[in-house]
Amino acid sequence: MSEPTSSRAPGVALWDLPTRIFHWSMVVLILVAWFSAEQNMQLHRWAGYGLLGLLVFRLWWGVAGGSTARFASFLTGPKATLAYLKTAGERSPSHAGGHNPVGAWSVVAMIAVMLALTVLGLFAGDIDGLESGPLTYLVSFETSRLCAEWHELLFRVLQGLVVLHLLAVAYYWAWKRQNLIGAMITGKSAFAAEPLKRGRLWSLLVGLILAVGVAWAAAKGLRF
């Protein structure tokens, strides 16, 4: 994802609105889950349900969404990724149509970690059994405690990935003069390889139904 500096033209559409809403909603809910973990477990759980719904939507949108949101459009093999790494030190901007090869795999890593994190949270239980996830009744006490430990560990991993992500954003802004944050806000870039092809309305509606359905089912503990 890339955006021109102030001296460049506004550019062409790069990120569709659903992708941008997903991105910033994820930022907000991660912060809410982080700061409510010790103070307000009910809020922490609701943030987790929201994150789970967002991740379900992103997985769907990565298959049936806009062109730059589709995994097939930005995931590359080791050869292409290594080739891009060799050019990372150049000051010329990246013209990748969306995520560059390295950024693409970092996105996949964060999605995978967040998905595992939220699912484990559903099965995580505390020692007293007072602040447990809605699916702890499906596993033993020992398993629920193990899920809680892995839940906390993966959050530390996520924090590390977020730090790396922010460092990469800062590097592109300072060295390559590309404002990645601006692109994710406006959806436009002067450095896009080709214009965005937007997803269909029916696909968006299906993604929303899946996201809400999974989040609701999780919150209910699969008890209907």
The C-alpha atoms of residue 84 and residue 100 are separated, in whole angstroms, by 8
Tokens of 79: 């050869």
pLDDT at 3: 41
pLDDT along the chain (224 residues), means of 10: 42 90 97 93 96 98 94 88 81 70 92 97 86 93 96 96 94 87 88 78 98 97 92
Tokens of 54: 């967002």
pLDDT at 191: 66
- H or E segment to which residue 12 belongs: strand 12-13
The C-alpha atoms of residue 209 and residue 56 are separated, in whole angstroms, by 10
In Å, what is the CA distance from 180 to each residue of 94, 146, 154, 177, 216? 11, 38, 26, 9, 33
110-133 residue pLDDT tens: 999 999 999 999 999 988 767 889
In Å, what is the CA distance from 40 to each residue of 2, 132, 215? 37, 13, 19
Q: Which residues make Cβ contacts (< 8 Å) with residue 24, sequence separation at least 6? A: 184
Under 8 Å between Cβ of 4 and 94: no
Domain 12-219 has CATH 1.20.950.20: yes
In Å, what is the CA distance from 134 to each residue of 80, 114, 125, 187, 219? 43, 18, 9, 37, 7
Q: How far is CA 100 from the centre of its chain?
A: 16
Under 8 Å between Cβ of 74 and 25: no
Q: Which residues make Cβ contacts (< 8 Å) with residue 166, sequence separation at least 6? A: none
Tokens of 28: 């907000």
pLDDT at 2: 39
Specify the pTM: 0.89
